[in-house]
Amino acid sequence: MSDEKRLKIAFVYPFPLAIGKNIPKFPGNFGVGGGETYSFRAAMKMAERGHKVTFFTGRFPGIKKNTLVMGNLRIEYLPVKIWKSIAYYAVMPSLVPKLLFGGFDVIHSWQFPTAYTFLSGIVAKATNKKFVVSHVGLTPGISRATKMFSKMNTGIVDRVILMTDFGRKYFKGYVRDRKIDVIYPGIDTEFFAPTRDRSLERKYAGKKVVLYAGRLIPSKGIDYLVRAFAKVTQRHRKSVLILIGQGHMEKRLRELVAELKISDKVVFTGYVPDDKMSAYYTLADVFVLPPVYKDSLGGYAPEPGGFGLVLAEAMACDTPTIATRVDTIPYWIKDGHNGLLCDPNDSKCLEKKINLLIESKAVRDRIVRNAKEIVYEKYSLEKVADQMEEVYGKIRPRGRV
């Protein structure tokens, strides 16, 4: 890349992905999800292309080093202040001078209806820098706080990047359609690829492996998966359910597993680093992501599943997937083509489709083939980086459209 095209970019997202010994511990029930993974991977890909990228993120408990440098990517962990909601009111006070005097060409914040996006936008406007916001979700107005911040951020943003065209309707009244770009989320198809791990293969030799990876929280519907798996074991006695992740529902899930008398068939791994995930995906016969809007405890989550990037990661590792029809998941997964779908809260459907993938090689092979083709065609980080560069280039000098 020529010096003329090389940009100095600031990514802003207070919630860091675990990297090496920097494993953040968030307050309350907040946890790492697709937004943290996607934003970090996108920053890495832009840095690989020769751009100078600084990723400003939060210094939460568990962060051992305040700065990490990975080639053209610099990660700075800044102190975080939180008022009311961690998701919307988190701010990093020292971010303002960092952005003011950092000499950035582009300031790129992640998540539209937030206080830190507002602060980033004010700095961008004051310094005539290009200001872009990626929104990893659907609606910017799910609460009074998000509606307030969305209205505040409407006038200062140059471009808003959404995950699907489906999300455009939720931004009506906040952002003009001409300011919206759609970039499908992507995964690193070199990082997530079929990977054999001999020790895992020995440990689970002769077993049918059902896998879940994500936060252990009620909205992820894991208890419905556990109940479905208990039925699956009646037909496939040599099967195991591996639950990767952490969360406040772990104790309740362990109790449910004991109640169903399948403790010897369910493994709670806790945190697994990214560089080990491909081996788990490759090991699995089936990957299941079963989020629900209304959970078994009576709670309601307006966006429980997001885009479901873990599904794309599993697909890239040649593993067939099952998911529920929530958020944008049915927008890109077509039942029976590149994955299988169930309605949320439907254990019987999950049981039926897990059995189908275990028992039918023809169905499994067809889904794996179609899924991998679609991931490489539409959902790779290379395509994300191409399109991000195009979005940055759309903004006219002086940071205004």
- For 272-323, write each residue's pLDDT tens digit: 989 999 999 999 999 999 999 999 999 988 888 888 999 999 999 999 999 9
Rounded-to-integer distance, Cα 240 and Cα 253, Å: 15
How many residues comprise the chain? Answer: 401
> Mean pLDDT throughout 349-362?
98
Q: Which of the four pLDDT bands, split at 50, 70 and 90, describes residue 20?
A: confident
Residue 257 has pLDDT above 80, yes or no: yes
Task: Give the pLDDT confidence score for residue 29 in this predicted structure.
Answer: 65
pTM higher than 0.85: yes
> For the ranges 5-14, 146-155, 261-270, which has the lowest average pLDDT?
146-155
- The pLDDT of 17-30, averaged and rounded, is 84
- Whether residue 59 is predicted with pLDDT greater than 50 in this model: the reply is yes
Residues 6+ apart with CB under 8 A from 199: none
Q: What is the pLDDT of residue 182?
A: 95
Six-digit token string for 335:
């039942």
Stretch (H or E) spanning 48:
helix 34-48
What's the whole-number mean pLDDT along residues 243-265?
Answer: 96
Residue spans per domain, the chain: 8-186+380-399, 198-378
> Alpha-carbon distance 1 to 51, whole Å?
9
The answer on pLDDT for 400 being more than 70 is no
Given pLDDT bands bounded at 50, 70 and 90, which one contains residue 399?
A: very low
In sequence order, the β-bridge partners of residue 294 are 300
CATH topology of domain 198-378: Rossmann fold (3.40.50)
Q: What is the DSSP string of 269-332?
A: EE---HHHHHHHHHH-SEEEE---SB-TTS-B-SSSSTT-HHHHHHHHTT--EEEES-TTHHHH
100-144 pLDDT, tens digit each: 999 999 999 999 888 999 999 999 999 999 999 999 875 776 677
CB 165 within 8 A of CB 182: yes
pLDDT at res. 144: 78
Instruction: Could you list the beta-strand ranges (E) of 286-367.
Output: 286-289, 321-324, 340-342
- Determine contact, residues 323/305, Cβ cutoff 8 Å: yes
Q: For the residues 321-329, what does the mean pLDDT come to?
A: 96
Residues 164/185, Cβ–Cβ less than 8 Å: no
Tell me what the mean pLDDT of segment 352-377 comes to.
98
Region for 245 from its dihedrals, namely left if φ exceeds 0, alpha if ψ lies in -120 to 50, beta otherwise: left
> What is the structure's pLDDT at 172?
84
Structural contact between residues 279 and 196, judged by C-beta atoms closer than 8 angstroms: yes
Nearest to 153 by CA among 109, 118, 115: 118
What is the pLDDT, as a whole number, of residue 57? Answer: 96
Q: 10 Å Cβ neighbour count for 323?
A: 26
pLDDT at 401: 42
| Separation between Cα atoms, residue 277 and residue 145, nearest integer Å | 35
At 89 the pLDDT is 75
Residue pair 324/305 in contact by the 8 Å Cβ criterion: yes
Fill in the DSSP letter of residue 17.
P
Q: What is the pLDDT of residues 178-230, one digit of tens each?
A: 999 999 999 999 999 999 999 999 999 999 999 999 999 999 999 999 999 99
Cβ pair 21, 64 in contact under 8 A: yes
Average pLDDT, the chain: 92
d(CA 228, CA 241): 11
85 contact partners, CB below 8 Å, separation of at least 6:
145
Handedness of CA 143, 145, 151, 156 (dihedral sign): negative
73-78 and 67-70 strand pairing: antiparallel
In CATH terms, the fold of domain 8-186+380-399 is Rossmann fold (3.40.50)
Q: Is 216 exposed, middle or buried (0-12, 13-18, 19+ CB in 10 A)?
A: buried
Q: Do domains 8-186+380-399 and 198-378 have the same CATH topology?
A: yes
- Supply φ then ψ for residue 139, to 5 degrees: -90, 140
Q: What single-letter amino acid sits at 172?
A: K
398: pLDDT strictly greater than 70 = no
Angle, alpha carbons 109-220-382 (nearest 5°)? 40
Q: Mapping DSSP to helix (H, G, I), strand (E, B) and coil, where does residue 260 land?
A: coil
H/E stretch holding 349: helix 347-359
Give yes or no for a contact between 107 and 120, defined as CB atoms under 8 angstroms apart: yes
Is 325 within 8 Å of 342 (Cβ atoms)? yes
pLDDT computed for residue 95 by the predictor: 97
pLDDT recorded at residue 1: 54
